[in-house]
Amino acid sequence: MTTALVNPATGRTFADVPSTSIEETDEAVARALVAQREWARRAPADRAAALRSFAGAVDAAIEELAGLEATNSGHPIGQARWEAGHVRDVLQYYAAAPERLAGAQIPVAGGLDITFHDPVGVVGVITPWNFPMTIASWAFAPALAAGNAVVLKPAEWTPLTSLRLAAIALEAGLPEHLFQVLPGLGPVVGERLVTHPDVRKVVFTGSTATGKRVMALAAEQVKQVTLELGGKSANIVFADSDLERAARTAPSGVFENAGQDCCARSRILVERSVLDRFLELLEPAVAAVAVGDPLDESTEMGPLVSRQHLSKVEGFVPAGAPVAFRGSAPSGDGFWFPPTVLLPSRTDRAFREEIFGPVVSVVPFDDEADAIGLANDSPYGLSGSIWTRDLSRAVRVSRAVESGNLSVNSHSSVRYSTPFGGFKHSGVGRELGPDAPLAFTETKNVFFAIDDAPPSTPSPSTTAPSASAPSEETT
Ligand code: ADP
């Protein structure tokens, strides 16, 4: 069986990729288990050097990886280049981990107590189609660094960069079968990774509905899971903020990657007294978003990933929807949808559900308490922004909003050196940051009992062995 890959900018099939079967998945896990044992036995400095060499090989392949992502996923070429560079940076960052993943010596009575961080073994990684290579690297880099093997299933529509990364790893000298990529179907390969007894941890990034299923299946085997799921993040704009900057940057906070971003600030909450002025400033910023051919260097937003996803997004903006204004998009072949700004009610489906497309809702609020209440009135809690010049308010609001990643006076969400993940239905666990390798280990505590009194030392006159000297055991 194969999956046809379609270029989202043209709507045309450009490649066919074989789908992995359950039997082939089992064989891959068995090979990974053998590779992992050898990898974990290697000196930490050797593992670090192998990861650095992998990072170097990714650096040399940035143009190739970016081209693949632009064709397979519709990402603007400039953004795709940044993503490939990010994969290199993530690998470089975690290449330090093999030599730094230290346990602790804990003061206890009666002995010596030490913790060790053992690799879990084989890690299953299931990735989505929105940021195929960056999200993959957030799992495979720290997992490999902590001494594990990785078996990764990319999303059906977008497997090419992950397949290429596995080949690059091998060319760079990583052991065979340590990092394998199995293209195929979620309910087949994905579920087999989740239920396979030798896969001891699963990292899943995707929809909340599938994440719940993954968590339920993993529970059968008491398997560790990290889940990075959906979002409906708030971008809260107070009247005292730099309104020009807030409005000018709002499109990048939601329309990046055509809104196919779990961190998209898809609910803009604006203090009522400045709503009209904010909309006046937002309209030209939305009109200026360059939507077009992913291979054109000036493109800022490409097409949606598939026809199926385009239909889903269109369903959120039916005829008669409260559209305030829209940007432009090419017509013709390809899965195009223009940046769209809605002025919905607080109960509107488009304001409450994750759309995962270039659609943003602007809703006014009355005061700080109302803004916090609105922001938290969502099953999700992944990301968000707060715009204000009042430091005390920034601190109060950022502490009150139930979200894993907030940004004050900016739309930044992800840095590889800081933790990333969600509250509530947005996920379980954290990726990235200095502690990520720990999430791919089992902590082992070993207590060594120590006798308080040293064994009696023989005096110098009795140390010379002689036929008549008594043996140590009898003294
Ligand atoms: P979407 O609906 O946006 O495609 P999903 O959450 O279904 O998002 O997909 C994210 C990833 O999860 C993809 O790699 C997909 O193949 C995989 N997947 C889908 N269903 C399952 C499942 N039942 N078990 C494991 N993985 C799955």
Q: What is the pLDDT of residues 90-113, one digit of tens each?
A: 999 999 999 999 999 999 999 999
Whether ligand 1 lies within 6 angstroms of the CB of 217 is answered as: no
What pLDDT was estimated at residue 459? 64
Residue 458 in any domain: the answer is no
In this prediction, residues 208-221 reach a mean pLDDT of 97
Residue 265 in any domain: the answer is yes
What pLDDT was estimated at residue 455? 78
Residue 455 in any domain: the answer is no
What pLDDT was estimated at residue 473? 39
Same domain for 61 and 41: yes
Residue 178 in any domain: the answer is yes
In this prediction, residues 157-167 reach a mean pLDDT of 98
Classify residue 361 as exposed, middle or buried by CB count within 10 Å of its CB (0-12, 13-18, 19+).
buried
Q: What is the pLDDT of residues 69-86, one digit of tens each?
A: 999 999 999 999 999 999
Whether ligand 1 lies within 6 angstroms of the CB of 126 is answered as: yes
Share of the chain above pLDDT 90, in %: 94
What pLDDT was estimated at residue 454? 79
Q: Place 332 in a pLDDT band, splitting at 50, 70 and 90.
A: confident
Which residue's CA lies nearest to atom 20 of ligand 1? 186
Which residue's CA lies nearest to atom 18 of ligand 1? 186
In this prediction, residues 157-186 reach a mean pLDDT of 98
Same domain for 27 and 118: yes
Same domain for 48 and 107: yes
Q: What is the pLDDT of residues 388-410, one digit of tens each?
A: 999 999 999 999 999 999 999 99
Identify the domain containing residue 391 by its residue range.
234-414
Looking at the 3D structure of the chain, how many domains does it have? 2
Same domain for 284 and 160: no
Residue 470 in any domain: the answer is no
Residue 225 φ then ψ, to 5°: -130, 145
- Ligand 1 geometric centre to CA of 66 (Å): 24
Q: Place 470 in a pLDDT band, splitting at 50, 70 and 90.
A: very low
What pLDDT was estimated at residue 456? 79
- Ligand 1 geometric centre to CA of 130 (Å): 12
pTM over 0.85: yes
In this prediction, residues 196-216 reach a mean pLDDT of 98
- Ligand 1 geometric centre to CA of 155 (Å): 7
What pLDDT was estimated at residue 461? 57
Q: What is the rounded average pLDDT for all residues in the chain? A: 96
Same domain for 168 and 33: yes
Q: What is the pLDDT of residues 9-28, one digit of tens each?
A: 999 999 999 999 999 999 99
Whether ligand 1 lies within 6 angstroms of the CB of 213 is answered as: yes
Q: Which CATH number goes with the domain that contains 264? A: 3.40.309.10
Residue 32 in any domain: the answer is yes
Q: What is the pLDDT of residues 346-387, one digit of tens each?
A: 999 999 999 999 999 999 999 999 999 999 999 999 999 999
Q: Which CATH number goes with the domain that contains 53? A: 3.40.605.10
What pLDDT was estimated at residue 469? 42
Same domain for 349 and 384: yes
Same domain for 346 and 241: yes
Same domain for 214 and 77: yes
Q: Place 471 in a pLDDT band, splitting at 50, 70 and 90.
A: very low
Atom of ligand 1 nearest to the CA of 156: 16
Identify the active-site residue in 69, 83, 191, 228: 228
Cα separations (Å) of 371 from 121, 323, 361, 368, 403? 45, 22, 14, 5, 14
Q: Regarding predicted confidence, which is higher, 18 or 464?
A: 18
Whether ligand 1 lies within 6 angstroms of the CB of 206 is answered as: yes
Q: What is the pLDDT of residues 32-49, one digit of tens each?
A: 999 999 999 999 999 999
- Ligand 1 geometric centre to CA of 193 (Å): 12
Catalytic residue check, 300: no
Same domain for 170 and 108: yes
Same domain for 409 and 291: yes
Residue 421 in any domain: the answer is no
Check whether 273 has a pLDDT greater than 70.
Answer: yes
Check whether 466 has a pLDDT greater than 80.
Answer: no
Same domain for 392 and 437: no
Same domain for 347 and 375: yes
